[in-house]
């Protein structure tokens, strides 16, 4: 499931940078990539000609004819970088990218590494079933004796 989720996040990010990060609930990066894409569109695309177009096909023709190679490269780079980043983040790379990497917060899931709710017996991120802490401590005490 993790591979599929990561590939879908990367694919969605190719078409709309930031959307793949939103899919994997990485909200800060979703806002950064989405904002970067929108800012680049406002700065580099011919917004006046797009607004004056009568149809969507006319606006796409204006975008295709009025943008230079550098602008097309910029948009491709933003989309590709967002897709690669969303894919790797969806797979859990880098391993220290979760909130518990610095030792702060509560316990983390042994499967996905994200922070756990101590009241639940499963990880609400990846649905991995967890052993209760009290049972694990009691079992360790019995084995030690």
User: What is the pLDDT at residue 75?
Assistant: 95
Q: In the block, which residue shows the tokens 């990846």? A: 126
Task: Kindly list the averaged pLDDT for each block of 10 residues, start to end, along the chain of length 145.
Answer: 85 94 93 96 91 91 91 95 93 61 64 80 84 59 60
Contact 86, 5 (CB under 8 A): no
CA distances from 28 to 15, 20, 71, 120 (A): 19, 12, 25, 26
User: What is the pLDDT at residue 98?
Assistant: 44
Dist. CA 87–CA 91, nearest whole Å = 6
Q: Which helix (H) or strand (E) holds 92?
A: none
Q: Which helix (H) or strand (E) holds 100?
A: none
User: What is the pLDDT at residue 69?
Assistant: 92
Dist. CA 134–CA 138, nearest whole Å = 6
CA distances from 39 to 28, 78, 92, 140 (A): 16, 11, 28, 56
User: What is the pLDDT at residue 101?
Assistant: 42
Global confidence as pTM: 0.63
């Amino acid at each position: 499931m993790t591979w599929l989720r990561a590939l879908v996040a990367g694919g969605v990010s190719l078409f709309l940078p930031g959307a793949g990060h939103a899919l994997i609930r990485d909200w800060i990066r979703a806002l950064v990539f989405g904002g970067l894409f929108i800012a680049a569109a406002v700065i580099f695309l011919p917004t006046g000609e797009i607004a004056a177009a009568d149809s969507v096909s006319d606006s796409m023709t204006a975008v295709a004819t009025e943008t230079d190679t550098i602008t097309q490269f910029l948009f491709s780079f933003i989309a590709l970088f967002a897709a690669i980043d969303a894919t790797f983040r969806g797979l859990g790379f880098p391993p220290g990218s979760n909130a518990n990497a610095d030792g702060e917060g509560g316990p983390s899931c042994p499967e996905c590494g994200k922070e756990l709710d101590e009241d639940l017996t499963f990880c609400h991120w990846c649905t991995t079933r967890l052993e209760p802490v009290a049972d694990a401590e009691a079992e360790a005490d019995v084995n030690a004796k």
